[in-house]
Amino acid sequence: MDTRAAMEPSPGVLAPTALASVDIVIPVLNEERALPGCVRTLARFLEAGFPLPWRITIVDNGSTDATWPLATALAGELPHVYARRLEIRGRGAALRAAWQDSPADVVAYMDVDLSTDLGALFPLVAAVAGGHSEIAVGTRLAPGARTRRSLRREVVSRGYNALLRHGFGVRFSDAQCGFKAARADAVRPLLRKVGDDSWFFDTELLLLAEHNGLRVHEVPVDWIEDGDSRVRVVRTAVDDLKGLARVAWTMGTGRARVRVRRAEPAPAHPDAVLTHPISDISALIGLIPGITHALAYLTLREMWSPVTTNLGALFLAAFVSVTTRRRSAFHHTAARFALLYALTTAAVLGVPAGGAVPESGAVAATYCLLALLRWVFTRTRN
């Protein structure tokens, strides 16, 4: 048989199919300096070969400078660029309004400073356009990402995301990167539950997505901090902590559940023989470092003070955690170590009578409490 002939496509094999359309939203507030360069750069990039139908939507939410006139001028000058104005402020409010009304199959957004390299845009969109995931996020903290930013923002970002991982049990590594995409029909039911209109919008959306069983895909990105950023790190961090408490209460009371369209996994082979699924034992596996910590504390307490004993026992527990979990856990050990040391030390010093046995019990109780919290926040995931 002729090999070349065999490689020729049969009629209809490569027939064009309907492509998912993408709406890229750029929320802006008093960005007259950055907006023109952002939109023109993004439009040139998309026109150069982005393989899906696209449009750019500028959302001005309450600017008092020349941002809105510039937005309307860009919309009139460039094809596939659309502008709308809201009288209320907040990135969350801008995204909610644009995503709810968008005619596109996939809705996305990026920050006006273009801190994230545009080379990651198609991998981000492709994860949801192809139906594999419902939401895709850029991450600056996963292996493969490259970032350049100040020490303060690095510390705050890593601490905040560590709190999300160990307090809520989330699987994503970077909640606040301004580079996200979602399947429109999947994200809209969540938008009605998101209560924040500002910077916490991203975190709340992702927490609700995982809580309702949606799949969140991460794309490592190259990211460079813009010195003219509108983000106020300390104020945003305080607002985020308040938002976390509110979301925790909403989840705990069962009010975070929404109806989302998501196909159940099914075998592709018509003659597949299905097996019974095993029970989820991840919570029990997560207690292994806690048991190690408590036993090590009980042994070392005879030689050292409570604070020193807790430090040494936690080192042993951290070693067990890294060796029993996936390899990437090593990158999160420092933040997890600091958080656990603070919590367990407070528990040890809070024991009224003192002594090795009750203090070791306090350590074990702390791990059990954390495991219970994680179970509460993840029990309704599909």
Active site residues: 202
Cα gap 334→339, rounded to integer Å: 9
Cα gap 366→343, rounded to integer Å: 7
Cα gap 109→144, rounded to integer Å: 22
Strand positions, DSSP E, 200-327: 216-220, 222-224
Residue 152's CB is within 10 A of a number of other CB atoms, namely 10
Extract the tokens encoding 338: 């600091």
Extract the tokens encoding 202: 């991203």
Burial of 268 (0-12, 13-18, 19+ CB in 10 A): exposed
Helix axis angle, 151-168 to 233-252, nearest 10°: 10
For residue 56, list its beta bridge partners: 24, 81
Extract the tokens encoding 196: 């924040």
Extract the tokens encoding 73: 């001028």
- What is the H or E stretch that residue 243 is in? helix 233-252
The pair phi, psi for residue 139, each rounded to 5°, is -130, 135
Please give, one letter per residue, the 3-state secondary structure of 153-195: HHHHHHHHHHHHHHHHCCCCCCCCCCEEEEEHHHHHHHHCCCC
Residue 37 identity (one-letter amino acid): G
